[in-house]
A and B are shown apart, each in its own frame.
Chain A
Amino acid sequence: MQVLYLLIETIVKCVVVFACLMLSVAYLTWLERKVLGHIQIRFGPNRCGPFGLLQPFSDGIKAFFKEDLVPGRSDKAVFVLSPMIAIISAIALFAVIPFGDQFTLPGTNWVIKLRIADIDVGLLYIFGIASLGEFGIILGGWSSGNKYGLTGSLRAAAQMISYEVALGLSIIGVIILSGSLRLTEIISLQAGGFWNWNIWYQPVAFVLYIICGLAEINRTPFDMPESESELACGFNIEYSSMKFALFFMAEYAHMITMGALAITLFWGGWQAPLPQLDFIPGVVWFCGKLFLFCFFFIWQRGTFPRLRYDQIMKFGWKILFPLTLLNLVITTLAVLLKG
Chain B
Amino acid sequence: MNNIISYAHIKNNSVSVNGTPVFSSEKNATLSEFLSEAYKSMEISYPKFHKMDLQCKLGFLCTEFALQNTAFISENDLTKTAIIISNSASSLQTDKLHQHSIDDKTNYFPSPAIFVYTLPNISIGELAIRHKITGENAFFICEKFDAHLMVNYTELVLNDNASSSICGWVEVDDTAYEAFIFLVETKNNTNKNTIFKPLNQLVVTQIYNQT
> Are chains A and B native binding partners rather than an unrelated pairing?
no
Tell me the B residues contacting A by CB distance below 8 Å: none
